[in-house]
Chains A and B, each alone.
Chain A
Amino acid sequence: MAPATSNSTVAAHLARQSAGYSTIRIQPPRGWFNLRLKELWDYRELLYFFVWRDVKIRYKQTLIGVVWVVLQPLLTMLVATLFFGKLAKLPSQGLPYPVFSFAAVVPWAYFSTAVLNTTNVVVENQRVITKVYFPRLILPISAALSGLVDFSIGFVVLLIFVLSYGFRPGWTILFIPLFLVLSILTVLGVGLWLSALNALYRDVRYLIPFLIQFWTLASPVYYSSSMVPDRYRWLYGLNPMAGVIDGFRWALTGTGHPPAAILYASVAMVCMAVFGGLIFFNLMESTVADRV
């Protein structure tokens, strides 16, 4: 493949490198594992601009902007309290049901919207993808991160809400960032696969609502994970959001105990999903501009 390089070209090559030129070699996709994370770092400013764009556009297009972000989880919590708390009388780990569900609804709202956005991000940016090069990985990452602005607003409301119920979160609140990182990674673990698949097969977009609905039921958003029999607990923990949601409740209210068993399974699951997702996305990346 590689031609015999004469000494003079080598010399010129070295001269160029010392002159501060970067050399890019373009060749057919080779190997299935070359994530080029260094390149991703070089493009971090573009990542920032994509997140910035998403956030700007979101708040420009809606009439009530921030109000909507606050209203959405609040209303979900109210409806859940009415039906699951008051009517179905689901146990809530000794917490008032509104607190119990609100602590779950805020991270869950982040998760479900972020999965949806991440899935569509490659397709929505197809014009840019076919006209300019940048590491495509930036797109799903930016979609996963831009939901954090909504989340932050929701989290402040959640904090006020929890305080108003008389809870005084202790040192356990320091674990919140950990659970947040876990949910971002979960979004990526799912989103990398789905965004790549969606670029190849547009039908994926129609599957997302079902997936989210299904996933809501498989997560302890409206019911307590303690309802799951002990011997199936590890299986339940394969859903990383189970660990995240239990973690949020524990960290905010200090009641119950850290979701240890579930959490370990969740972390392992997420790591595998992200790792596999990176490889899959990377494989798709080399052909995506020809396909979207």
Chain B
Amino acid sequence: MDALGKEYRRGLGRPSGLLRDTLAKAMRSPASLFRRELTEKFWALRNMSLEVKEGEVLGLIGRNGSGKTTLLKILSRITRPTEGWAEIHGRVGSLLEVGTGFHPELTGRENTYLSGAILGMGKQEITRKFDEIVAFAELEEFINTPVKHYSSGMYVRLAFAVAAHLEPEILLVDEVLAVGDIKFQRKCLGKMGDVARAGRTIILVSHQLNQIRRLCRRVAWVDSGSLRQLGPTHEVVSSYESSMSSPEQTDSLGRDSSSLKARFTHWEIVVPSGDGEHTLTSHSSVKIRFQLDVRKHIRNAQQGIALFNVERQLIWATAAQDISFDPGIHHLDYDFPSLPLRPGVYSWQVSVWEHEVQVELWDAVPDLIIAAPNYQHWRDEWNGVLNIPSSFSISLTKG
């Protein structure tokens, strides 16, 4: 039965603008209602073709806005494609959010039924799995309490427990595993692994490449709405990682820079040299350089810098006060004794302010890749944010 599969070949485009102000626009020029505004259209996904075999766990990776979620939304029939088609053989369950359909006034029990039904379970199915769901969520005592009294952890546990007991032939998952405490996350991953082993087809979107590595055998890399690479997990993930650190797609957002007084154009690692401009492979001292193109004098300026990890958690930030910039290209250098961070993908954000007014804010591209040796615990759950080399000794002081 190896020919079983889902075949896709599609492209999608849709108007980007929200149509809330159409009425206001129509007041000004009634004819515009009937005119198609071609300029506002963009293709969120185009000419995407791939096939997923039954029982396969496929990972979808790509930058924000590359079209991964759009693809999932089409496959789950939340939105319809503009062109192309897809064929799905089997019942589809989609988990694009944790707690879909939860209502705060209802009890845990009621929400289990409601959310289960919305996600596609029948009433009998939910009744059959109810005890298992509650046990999985570890919420036996609180199941008759309205969920508005739940802590956010309890809420997420129940929501995920319902979702995890969905048994469709095809499961579409978007980033929802990034919730809850580590212990519960692992439990969910385990459950998901069980689901995969049970022969179900899963398409998983995640920014957490470790998760992708652990769960998927094959990965599709989506870039600006089309398929950039499809293949075995380790190949695609590593070429994705290296592209994030190559300067090729600098400033793809196409910011309108003409009106700016200053703009960041480039960043690089100056010291240590030789590792690649955006990858750190050691724990030695580091010099990071940002290039700022100043067009007009800026007085009484502040210059801010922040470092985020891949979950957009702030790692570190600072700002320099009372600077003035003359027109011209500037190098802003930051020296660090070392950047003791867990290996992974990080991003800089740099900004310039004049009299408390923002002049420029740049989410630096490409990302910073830290690929230095990991000095931490050999078990994943004991890997923290920092990666500090340490030495350890024991001495006997009283015998």
Interface residues of A in 18-45 (CB under 8 A from B): 21-29, 45
Instruction: Please judge, given known A-B contacts A26-B80, A28-B81, A57-B106, whether A132 and B100 are in contact too, CB under 8 Å.
Output: yes
The stretch that binds A, out of B88-96, B324-332, B353-361, is B88-96
Question: Nearest CB to that of A15 among chain B residues?
Answer: B1
Residue B20, interface by CB 8 Å = yes
Instruction: Please judge, given known A-B contacts A21-B90, A127-B100, whether A26 and B77 are in contact too, CB under 8 Å.
Output: yes
Cα A215 to Cα B75 in complex, Å, equals: 43
Residue A53, interface by CB 8 Å = yes
* A200 close to B19 (CB less than 8 A): yes
Cα A49 to Cα B9 in complex, Å, equals: 35
Cα A56 to Cα B84 in complex, Å, equals: 42
Residue B386, interface by CB 8 Å = no
Instruction: Please judge, given known A-B contacts A132-B118, A200-B19, A201-B20, whether A24 and B105 are in contact too, CB under 8 Å.
Output: no
A-B residue pairs in contact (CB < 8 Å), sample of 18: A12-B4, A21-B169, A24-B87, A26-B80, A26-B85, A27-B85, A28-B80, A28-B82, A45-B122, A49-B117, A61-B105, A127-B100, A128-B101, A130-B96, A200-B22, A203-B23, A289-B79, A290-B79
Cα A52 to Cα B253 in complex, Å, equals: 47
Instruction: Please judge, given known A-B contacts A26-B80, A27-B81, whether A46 and B90 are in contact too, CB under 8 Å.
Output: no
* B117 close to A46 (CB less than 8 A): yes
Instruction: Please judge, given known A-B contacts A21-B89, A57-B105, A132-B96, whether A290 and B83 are in contact too, CB under 8 Å.
Output: no
Query: Which residues of A lie under 8 Å from residue B75 when comparing CB positions?
Result: 26
CB contact between B81 and one of A15, A26, A60, A130 (< 8 Å): that residue: A26
CB distance from A282 to the nearest CB of B (A): 12
Cα A237 to Cα B242 in complex, Å, equals: 72
Instruction: Please judge, given known A-B contacts A28-B83, A131-B78, whether A289 and B103 are in contact too, CB under 8 Å.
Output: no
CB contact between A129 and one of B14, B78, B119 (< 8 Å): that residue: B78
Which 5 pairs between the two chains have the least Cβ-Cβ distance? Answer: A12-B3, A133-B77, A49-B117, A27-B85, A26-B86
Query: Which residues of A lie under 8 Å from residue B86 when comparing CB positions?
Result: 25-27
CB contact between A49 and one of B18, B19, B78, B113 (< 8 Å): that residue: B113
B68-81 near A? 1/0 per residue, CB < 8 Å: 00000111111111
Extra 6 A-B pairs, beta carbons < 8 Å, given A25-B88, A132-B100: A9-B3, A16-B4, A45-B123, A61-B105, A131-B96, A131-B97
* B85 close to A130 (CB less than 8 A): no
Task: With a 10 A CB-CB cut-off, give which of A29, A60, A129, A203 has the most chain B CB atoms.
Answer: A60
Residue B363, interface by CB 8 Å = no
CB distance from A245 to the nearest CB of B (A): 34
* B101 close to A16 (CB less than 8 A): no
Query: Which residues of B lie under 8 Å from residue A52 when comparing CB positions?
Result: 114
B108-120 near A? 1/0 per residue, CB < 8 Å: 0010011001111
Query: Which residues of A lie under 8 Å from residue B100 when comparing CB positions?
Result: 127-128, 131-132
Query: Which residues of B lie under 8 Å from residue A86 when comparing CB positions?
Result: none
Query: Which residues of B lie under 8 Å from residue A213 when comparing CB positions?
Result: none
* B87 close to A46 (CB less than 8 A): no
Cα A106 to Cα B38 in complex, Å, equals: 51
Query: Which residues of A lie under 8 Å from residue B123 when comparing CB positions?
Result: 45, 48-49
Cα A6 to Cα B182 in complex, Å, equals: 48
* B101 close to A132 (CB less than 8 A): yes
Query: Which residues of B lie under 8 Å from residue A131 when comparing CB positions?
Result: 78, 94, 96-97, 100
Query: Which residues of A lie under 8 Å from residue B97 when comparing CB positions?
Result: 127, 131
